[in-house]
Copies of this chain bind each other. A is one copy, B any other.
Amino acid sequence: MTIGTAPPPLRLRVVQDGPEAAATVLKRTGLSDLEVDPAVAARSAAVFDTPELRDLVSSVGLSPASAEEALSPEQFVERVVRLVRAAGDTALRLISERLDGAVPADLETSPAEIAAAYQQVDAQFVADLRLAADRIRRFHEHQRRPSWLDVDEGLGQIIRPLERVGIYAPLSTAAYPSSVLMAAIPARVAGVDEVMLSMPPRPDGRHQPEMVVAADIAGVDRLFKIGGAQAIAALAYGTESVPKVDKILGPGNIFVVLAKKRVFGDVDIDQLPGPTETLVVADDTAPADEVAADLLAQAEHDPLASAILITSSERLAAAVPSALAEQLGQLERAEIARESLERRGGIVVAASVERALALANEYAPEHLCLLVADAWSYLPAIKHAGGVFLGRYSPEAAGDYVAGPSHIMPTAATARFSSPLSVDDFLKITSVIALSASQLVELGPAAARLARAEGLTAHAAAVERRLH
């Protein structure tokens, strides 16, 4: 910003509860409606336009698209996945080279690089990460679930950790060491044997030292320098350098998300994340400057992030825009926050806190912040939210780092049916059935009759053979 030039005024939508609010501020975009920048799509076929990649593309039975052709994001991802699955490291390197430029000689971070990373960050940062890691660990230890066996009934559930998981960490407008803790520590608490992390490297072929230190503190076993859809394909099917995992977790751009969806079934995945979002519900007791600060903390993530206020207070609705404009000027990422607020944010005035919460339940936000008097009393009214932040001493920004729950939460209204990343993501169950002879005598005849009713005579025979 040139000295002496005032920033343009903030164009923020402020609307009354009703059809206009539903059609603007509170409008939802589904995950399957995510769009790719047409300029990026137009360049996507050119990625495969080298002699080596043209040969590989033919060898997996795909037609070598001409460099000018625009592949849809799904076609691009299909191509990457099939190449990496068929040609392993060779494909991984050729594709990464085209997308990122140079590819490091060794795709894995070495112990020497990890040791060096600690030298490049300051001691306070390490101490803060350790504090956060400790809180995250304690919260997730609450979630451990025991196996159970009822020997008399001959029934039970064996609950076991997954053997090997792969976490993806993107490198977008910033690197987030906190996200490494939030994904890897629950895996460690669950008891996963091997936790791997993959991230795109910097142009110098290394990772940010902050990310390396976070991975080490979180207990990550192996750290790879691969990004994008090709990283997801490598984790899903394995290559010479990257072992195949059982589950892939973590956020990424649309190509990463589509690649996760593509490989789902062959491996498990966690969620299909969309842009991050916060919905603040505030009444007349909330200070406008704190509401504005919380909205900005969301908006600074990404121009596609959503920061929305629903308030029962006309005073607050009037005061927040100017508080936002004022605080914007103090932010490093002011332009991103401004674009987010103008494109995807806004204020809705509702008749009451109850009505605001009804709208919030319909929106099903990733983060729901209650800046209202007696916030605890509204907890039972909250049906759909990834995380709920009660009261002014629980800013979502604290939850992003040190509160304890994982900050990887369901976006795009998927809080209706999905959950924050947790220990559950790393467990799987085997049902145990061990009937005694007398139980089979008691239950077997009904099983055999039901089998015959379904036309399955071999089922009936397998039971009856034991009854004689």
Where the two chains meet, the residues of A that have a C-beta atom closer than 8 Å to any C-beta of B are: 30-32, 124-125, 127-129, 131-132, 135, 139, 142-143, 145, 148, 150, 153-155, 157-158, 160, 162-163, 174-178, 210, 246-247, 261-268, 272, 289-290, 293-294, 296-297, 299-301, 327, 330-333, 337, 375-376, 379, 382-406, 409, 412, 414-420, 422, 424, 428-437, 439-440, 443-444, 446-451, 453-463, 465-466
Kindly state the separation between the CA atoms of A428 and B382 in the bound complex, as whole angstroms: 13
CB pair B128–A143 under 8 Å, yes or no, is: no
Once A246-B417, A300-B459 are accepted as A-B contacts, the answer to whether A409 and B387 lie under 8 Å apart by CB is: no
CB pair B290–A466 under 8 Å, yes or no, is: yes
CB pair A461–B333 under 8 Å, yes or no, is: no
CB pair A430–B415 under 8 Å, yes or no, is: yes
Given the complex, which residues of B lie within 8 Å of A458, measured CB to CB? 293, 296-297, 299-300, 327, 331, 333, 337, 397
CB pair B457–A386 under 8 Å, yes or no, is: no
CB pair A392–B433 under 8 Å, yes or no, is: no
- The smallest C-beta distance from A189 to any residue of chain B, in angstroms, reads 14
Would you list the 9 A-B pairs with minimal beta carbon distance, nearest first? A31-B265, A405-B431, A390-B434, A419-B429, A397-B459, A265-B272, A268-B417, A293-B462, A297-B462
Partner of A420, one of B139, B142, B429, B460: B429
Closest to A150 in B: B142
Please classify the interface of chain A as helix (H, G, I), strand (E, B), loop, or mixed, using the class held by over half of its residues: mixed
Given the complex, which residues of B lie within 8 Å of A333, measured CB to CB? 455-458
Kindly state the separation between the CA atoms of A396 and B461 in the bound complex, as whole angstroms: 12
Kindly state the separation between the CA atoms of A327 and B462 in the bound complex, as whole angstroms: 10
CB pair B263–A178 under 8 Å, yes or no, is: no
Copies of this chain, complex-wide, total 2
Given the complex, which residues of B lie within 8 Å of A414, measured CB to CB? 265, 268
- The smallest C-beta distance from A273 to any residue of chain B, in angstroms, reads 9
- The smallest C-beta distance from A344 to any residue of chain B, in angstroms, reads 15
Kindly state the separation between the CA atoms of A439 and B417 in the bound complex, as whole angstroms: 31
CB pair B160–A461 under 8 Å, yes or no, is: no
- The smallest C-beta distance from A231 to any residue of chain B, in angstroms, reads 18
Kindly state the separation between the CA atoms of A247 and B419 in the bound complex, as whole angstroms: 13
Q: Which of A415, A440, A459 has the most CB of B within 10 A?
A: A459
Given the complex, which residues of B lie within 8 Å of A32, measured CB to CB? 262-263, 265-266
CB pair B293–A247 under 8 Å, yes or no, is: no
CB pair A428–B446 under 8 Å, yes or no, is: no
Once A428-B415, A430-B385, A458-B293 are accepted as A-B contacts, the answer to whether A402 and B450 lie under 8 Å apart by CB is: yes
Kindly state the separation between the CA atoms of A284 and B453 in the bound complex, as whole angstroms: 34
Closest to A154 in B: B394
Given the complex, which residues of B lie within 8 Å of A465, measured CB to CB? 289-290, 293
- The smallest C-beta distance from A147 to any residue of chain B, in angstroms, reads 10
- The smallest C-beta distance from A339 to any residue of chain B, in angstroms, reads 14
- The smallest C-beta distance from A108 to any residue of chain B, in angstroms, reads 23
Q: Which of A289, A394, A458 has the most CB of B within 10 A?
A: A458
- The smallest C-beta distance from A284 to any residue of chain B, in angstroms, reads 19
Q: Which of A30, A400, A456 has the most CB of B within 10 A?
A: A456
Kindly state the separation between the CA atoms of A396 and B265 in the bound complex, as whole angstroms: 24
Kindly state the separation between the CA atoms of A195 and B376 in the bound complex, as whole angstroms: 31
Given the complex, which residues of B lie within 8 Å of A331, measured CB to CB? 457-458, 461
CB pair A446–B132 under 8 Å, yes or no, is: yes
Given the complex, which residues of B lie within 8 Å of A266, measured CB to CB? 30-32
